[in-house]
Structure 1
Amino acid sequence: MISKTTMKNSSFKPLSKTSMVLGMLLVSGYSYAQSINMDFSNEYNATSIHAQGDAYFIDKVKELTDGDIGITLHTGGALGFNSGDHFYAVADGAVDIADTLSGTMSGIDSIFLLSSLPFIVEDIEDARRLYEIAKPYYEEVFEDNDQILLYASPWPPSGIWSKTAIANQSDLENLKIRTFDRNGTETFRNVGASPVSLSWGDVVPQLATGGISAVLTSAEAGANGSFWEHQDHFSAVQYAIPLNMVHMNKAVFDSLSAEQQQALLEAANLTDQHNWAAVEVRTEENYQTLGEHDVAISDPVSADLLNALSEASTSVVENWLENTGDMGQSILTEFRGEQ
């Protein structure tokens, strides 16, 4: 885990507009209880389930503060940040709030690989229980690095997008497949594929140029990226239900009035509930969209394919437990004990 001291010694980044406004208010002697605008970074498209959840949060904040807090959502990486940049950008005040793919923060703490551990959860209900068990640990990491966790933004289950059908293990051999974090890279390397870890913004360009021929992601992400322009098949291997985390600069939060803080937290709680409800029905909507674009959907996939991936993932879970120690073991023991 990176300490506060390490964070403060990181390379300089300019203050956000919000931080500058707060500083002027403090110098001028006014108490902070007036209108403020914040910037919110998200690297995914405006139509994605994550951006829609973030827009819901923004509307709730506006409603609960009578317009005192305005938040501008910047989708598609418009601020120049992708998920891999967000942790430092928020901690340093370069952006106020960010929606970040959890696994991209694994270099900060291995807890962020929990939601993408392969074949740990079976459905959305499982994924939500796992998140609730682990939430205090997530919150602690953010707090130790001058941030707060607002809410989770779950993905629909991850599958494999490909140019040709993936029916068994042999179809994965030497497959140039994009993965989204360390867990996926290790799993697909173990099964004989040639995984390449890429941020979201690099996926479509790599598909277009032939740098990759398959993608580990959800039907949701593929639909938003119009993958049917490059891929004809989606295999629903139910690999994982990874999370995005929405986190906020703590100094900005602390500078809000008590009423504004309470409203922001209430909006976050409402958004958390909204996002988990939304993901329940998203796959069916995505499948309809894929069908309209003649994408062949394999759901369920063959037992041979599932068994090969499950076996390849065993070391991934073991390595995660070794890296997280008692914390990781405690989380999985509690989760499995409730099943």
Structure 2
Amino acid sequence: MTSNAITTKGFRLSHKLLTSMIIGASVFSIQAFAENISMDFSNEYNASSIHAEGDAYFIDRVTELTEGGINITLHTGGALGFNSGDHFYAVADGAVEIADTLSGTMSGIDPIFLLSSLPFIVDDINDAHRLYEIAKPFYEEVFEDNDQILLYASPWPPSGVWSKTAINSQDDLQNLRIRTFDRNGTETFRNIGAAPVSLSWGDVVPQLATGGISAVLTSAEAGASGSFWEHQDHFAAIQYAIPLNMVHMNKAAFDSLNEAQQAAIMEAAKLTDEHNWKAVKNRTEENYKTLSEHNITINDPVSEELFGALSEAASSVVENWLETTGENGVTIMSQFRGE
């Protein structure tokens, strides 16, 4: 009798403990995402751009994974007053929690950020993705050293030249006032005899409208998003580069989240990274359809003479980058080239 009582009592105690554990786990699961947290996300591009669409995808994944516990508001078109050139320090200082930033605009922080826009290094999206994966630890280190974390990359379709008149040869580039988006492009087009002007995205359309520039180095994607057909008639697919935007987050804001929320942010970032690299593969074809509907003449492929002249003009750009990045640059390029 005594033995049975002890057994029964033990069972009851175990059952009570088990029930308590289950209830506790359920409460934790609910409480993990119960706190309502709001964050702002800055992007200087239009809401219809491939980058804004990728950012919206990230926000949707975060909402799902946190059961609505983290509310992120995406501000497109530079609505918060920041452009890509402002983002690095705005995020580091906590002025905005998350930003989507054109990589080359951060070259003043570290020249590693000019890697993705080095001219004529990659042949296609797969090449660009492989280069990003090799360089990712180097990017992450720079962000970490500046109180930020890298969430994911957002690749552009290949860069080309938008212009009022056709670009068929090197002669067509002479003294051309062309907008470039970072130091690599400025040096390349200066070397070939053009008159490059480095501008942030928000200044491009106003400069086209007023005649401050007559051509733009950017993708078919960007031109379609910005309705360039209102000012330009031609797009030359020179396959210049597949530059990256990078989405980065303030480290203190990330650290303020609990473990479940942090895990959700990183899982959403992983899913978005995969989504973005898939999405960009079909984007040029979609853009070309839009351009044709607006009577843009597309020069694809460009002549061997034009491509050769641009490649030669770009050779010093790559050499200079390797010199400024030192061992890190050599390591990345050696791995990329399989040396």
Give CA deviations for 1:102-138 in whole Å, capped at 9, x if unaligned.
Answer: 0000000000000000000000000000000000000
RMSD: 1.2
- Look up the match of 1:228: 229
SS across alignment from 1:99: strand
- Look up the match of 2:329: 328
1:47 and 1:131 map into 2 onto residues whose CA distance is 24
1:35 Cα deviation from its structure 2 partner: 1.3
Structure 2 residue 150 is matched with structure 1 residue 149 = yes
1:256 partner letter: L
1:32 Cα deviation from its structure 2 partner: 9.5
- Look up the match of 1:190: 191
Contact 1:113 1:183 in 2 (8 A): yes
- Look up the match of 1:240: 241
Q: TM-score, normalised by structure 1?
A: 0.90
Structure 2 residue 84 is matched with structure 1 residue 79 = no
2:104 and 2:169 map into 1 onto residues whose CA distance is 27
Contact 2:33 2:68 in 1 (8 A): no
1:32 and 1:322 map into 2 onto residues whose CA distance is 48
1:169 and 1:333 map into 2 onto residues whose CA distance is 31
- Look up the match of 1:20: none
- Look up the match of 2:159: 158
Give CA deviations for 1:52-89 in whole Å, capped at 9, x if unaligned.
Answer: 00000000000000000010000000000000000000
Contact 1:32 1:255 in 2 (8 A): no
1:34 Cα deviation from its structure 2 partner: 1.2
Q: Which structure would you say has the larger Rg? A: 2
Contact 2:32 2:261 in 1 (8 A): no
- Look up the match of 1:107: 108
- Look up the match of 2:309: 308
Structure 2 gaps of 5+ residues are 1-30
Contact 1:159 1:236 in 2 (8 A): yes
Contact 2:151 2:248 in 1 (8 A): yes
Residues 301 and 38 (structure 1), Cα distance of their counterparts in 2 relative to 1, 3 Å cut: same
1:76 and 1:212 map into 2 onto residues whose CA distance is 21
Contact 1:90 1:249 in 2 (8 A): yes
- Look up the match of 1:62: 63
Q: TM-score, normalised by structure 2?
A: 0.90
Contact 1:204 1:225 in 2 (8 A): yes
Contact 1:33 1:256 in 2 (8 A): no
SS across alignment from 2:167: coil
Contact 1:32 1:256 in 2 (8 A): no
Aligned residues: 309
Contact 2:33 2:66 in 1 (8 A): no
Contact 1:115 1:242 in 2 (8 A): yes
Structure 1 gaps of 5+ residues are 1-29
